[in-house]
Amino acid sequence: MLLETLSFISFMTNSGLSFLAGSAFTVAMFLMRNEKQKRLAQARQPIAEEAKQQVLVEPQKESTLVSDVPAAPLSSGLLPKVELLISAGPRKSTRETELGEDVAGSVLTPNRVIFWVLDGTSDTVVIPGEQGRDLLSSRLFCLAISAALHQLAHKFTDAHKLAEAALDEAAAQLKSLVAEHQESFQKFGKSEPEQTSHWDVSTTMLVGILSDTGEVDLFRIGDSKAICFGLDKQVVATVVDQKPASIGLGRIHARLVRGELFTLQLFTPDREDQLHRGRASGVRRIIAFSDGVGPSTEQYLRRMLAQRTYSQFHDELGRTPNKTFDDKTLVLASFEPVS
C-alpha cells in the first residue's frame, strides 16, 4: 500500500512538473510574440503619421464623375430650352436609303443655346458603298457638318467662326472617308460617263447662338430663316428673318473629283449677298426653320409664337396645313423663367 501511494504521488508530481513546464513555455512564447508585435507597431507608427499628414496637406482631386459634379446655378434665373421639330417631305424616288435631307441640332449650356438648321439638296448624287450603305450624299454631308457643330459648339461665342470651324472639320472627315474607300469611289466612277469630272453634294446652313442676356448672333448661307422675339413678345428684326436675294447660289458644296485617286474639295460662298450675319439684343425666343416651311406657316409663326404657350403653339401648329411638299424643320430656342 505504501509503495502504491508513493508511486501515485510520484506520478502526480511528474505530471504537475510537466504541466508547469508546458505552461511556462506557452507563456514565454506569448510574451515573445507580444513583444514582436509591439516592435512592429512602433515601427509602423511614423509611416502612418506621415501618410495622415499627407492626406491633411494634399488637396483632394476633383471628381470627374458627372453624378458628383453639382449643377451650376443659373445666375439669371432663366432656363435654356430648345425643341427640334422635323418632318420629311415626299420622296422623289423608290430608293430605300433616300431619307430626309434636313438636319437640325442644338447644344445647351447654362447661359447659351447653340442651334443650327441644315437643308441638304435632295436631287444631288448618292454614291453607294459596300453592304448597301451610302458613302456620300447631301444628307451625309449635312450629318457630317452637324456632328462637327456638336463637337465644337461649346468653344465658340461667334456663330460665323463656329460655322467655319465646323465646315473645316466636316471636310477633313469626308476627305479621310474618300481616301479610305478609294476602291468603292473608283468603282462608282467607272459606272458614270467618262466626261463627268466631278460630282457635287450641297447644303444650306443656319447657325445661331442665344445667350441668357438676350444677345443673339446668327450666321446664314442659303435660304433658311430665323425670327427673334423680344421680352415684349414683339419681333426683333434681323437680316436673317428675310429671304436672301440670291437663293439658288447660297449653298455649301462638297465636290468629289475624279482622278487616279479620287479627292474631295469644299466650296463655300464668298460673296456678301450669300453670307448673312444677324445680331440683336433683348431677345428671349427664336424660331429657326428651313425653306420647307411655307409662307402660311411662317405668318402663323410670326403672329402666334409670341402670344402662345409652348403647348398651345404645338397644338395649333399641328393643325396648320403646309403644302410645300418638302422636308420641314423648326427649331425653337429660348430662355424661360425657372418655375
d(CA 207, CA 277): 10
Q: Is residue 46 part of a domain?
A: no
Max Cα distance, the chain (Å): 139
Q: What is the CATH number of the domain that holds 188?
A: 3.60.40.10
**Mean pLDDT to the nearest integer, 53-62:** 39
181 domain residue, yes or no: yes
What is the mean predicted confidence (pLDDT) over 163-169?
Answer: 97
| 160 falls within a domain | yes
Question: What is the model's pTM?
Answer: 0.73
Rg value, the chain, Cα = 38
Residues with Cβ within 8 Å of residue 290, at least 6 apart in sequence:
102, 117, 119, 204, 224, 326, 327, 328, 329
- Ranges of H-type helices in 216-294: none
Number of domains in the chain: 1
41 lies in some domain: no
Q: Is residue 44 part of a domain?
A: no
The answer, yes or no, to whether residue 16 has pLDDT greater than 50, is no
pLDDT, one tens digit per residue, over 181-238 is 999 999 999 999 989 999 999 999 999 999 999 999 999 999 899 999 988 878 898 9
- 9 in any annotated domain: no
Domain that holds residue 107: 67-337
- Reply yes or no on whether the pLDDT at 3 is more than 50: no
**108-129 pLDDT, tens digit each:** 998 999 999 999 887 788 898 8
Per-residue buried b or exposed e for 299-325, using 16+ beta carbons within 10 Å of the residue's own CB: ebbeeebbeeeeeebeeebeeeebeee
Is residue 284 situated within a structural domain?
yes
Residues 286-339 have pLDDT tens digits of 999 988 787 777 887 887 776 676 667 767 766 666 665 667 888 999 998 876
Q: Assess if residue 18 is contained within a domain.
A: no
Burial (CB count within 10 angstroms: exposed 0-12, middle 13-18, buried 19+), residue 101: buried
